[in-house]
A = this chain, B = another copy of it.
């Protein structure tokens, strides 16, 4: 059973708002940074997908903001693949403060694979499926 993929990052000054904490839209960007790192770990990176004629887009995202992420804190962005459909990939995300372990955000996303030529949905290729299985933990 899959352990989550973990990507550590540090909250940047430019990402904090007047409340002194990470601005809400950047949580969604952090998920994107994690996804990019997952592509790298799974099959060498996003560019490999483009070279092989496929791309991926976000279709859905659901975020629960539990506690503010603070400037300069190191965070662990955890990610699990929860669904590997024909053309779509479901993921579960958790953002924790690497200092005290507090859970800051929980989220789910759904990505869809597309053909670069037609911009239409396309089945997730086998090489991608194999690469992603390491972090696959289907929802019960």
- Is A120 interfacial (CB-CB < 8 Å)? no
Chain B positions within 8 Å of A64 at CB level: 59-60
Stretch among A27-35, A81-89, A129-137 lining the B interface:
A27-35
From B13, B36, B65, contact of A36 by CB (8 A): B13
Chain A interface mostly helix, strand, loop or mixed?
A: mixed
For the complex formed by this chain, how many copies does it contain in all? 4
Known A-B contacts A45-B72, A72-B36; A61 and B58 likewise in contact (beta carbons under 8 Å): no
Whether B17 and A16, one on each chain, are in contact in the complex, defined by CB atoms closer than 8 angstroms, is: yes
Known A-B contacts A19-B55, A46-B13; A32 and B25 likewise in contact (beta carbons under 8 Å): yes
Which residues from chain A sit less than 8 Å from chain B, CB to CB? 12-14, 16-20, 23-29, 32-33, 36, 40, 45-47, 55, 57-65, 68, 71-72
- What are 30 of the A-B contact pairs (CB < 8 Å)? A12-B33, A12-B36, A13-B18, A13-B23, A13-B32, A13-B46, A14-B23, A14-B29, A14-B32, A16-B17, A16-B18, A17-B18, A24-B28, A24-B58, A25-B26, A25-B29, A25-B32, A28-B28, A36-B72, A46-B71, A46-B72, A47-B72, A57-B65, A60-B62, A60-B63, A60-B64, A61-B62, A61-B63, A61-B65, A62-B62
